[in-house]
Chains A and B, each alone.
Chain A
């Protein structure tokens, strides 16, 4: 079974632009969560989508948004990019998104904001 895939793997943007990242979960998985990883703040939870609905949200500004499609694929969008948004963005999927299920991570998208 193929793992979690994320596209693109690398991205360079300039301040003020917006960016969209894509995540395809493991086949059959219905929950997708997004995390931001930086050297200073570590791994931080952004939000989780299940059955096309945002179910949980971390403590990030409204510039960070996401959505999930009927095939469980998910996208996250960051508008008005800031230098501090440079990070590795990881998505993780789990099967039913119910009780204490394992999350499987993708390789991440590395975003550099200049």
Chain B
């Protein structure tokens, strides 16, 4: 079946450093790849997404890259801040609409000041 693998499961960085989280997916039909941030006691919040016709997308300190041939995509956070500490999930669409997502197991990011 479809699968999304996410690495690393935990990541600790110093404030100001960069953080990189990588995901691979199995279903070549997937065409939409969102990233969510989840803080304790809250639902996941979209931080950035990328569609299959784009290789890279950037929004201030956050960027995502997609390699459809290799079926992997990555999240890059630069100049990390303590408030970036949270659990990050990558996801891939199971349908064209993007309304059914398969998620990675999550990465717990800790940013120490």
Give the chain B neighbours of A59 by CB distance below 8 A: 1
In the assembled complex, B69 has its CB within 8 A of some CB on chain A: no
- A97 touching B44, Cβ below 8 Å: no
Nearest opposing residue in chain B for A43, CB measure = B103
A-contacting 9-mer, from B10-18, B76-84, B93-101 = B93-101
Closest CB of chain A to B45's CB: distance in Å? 7
- Bound-state CA distance A43–B97 (Å) is 19
The SS class assigned to the B binding surface is: loop
Nearest opposing residue in chain B for A41, CB measure = B105
Q: Chain B: interface residue count, which band?
A: 20 to 34
- Among B1-32, those with CB < 8 Å from A are 1, 31-32
Which residues of A line the B interface, CB within 8 A?
A: 4, 31, 33, 35, 42-45, 48, 50, 55-56, 58-59, 90, 92, 94, 97-108
Give the chain A neighbours of B105 by CB distance below 8 A: 42
> Which of A43, A101, A105 has a CB less than 8 Å from the CB of B98?
A101
- B99 touching A56, Cβ below 8 Å: yes
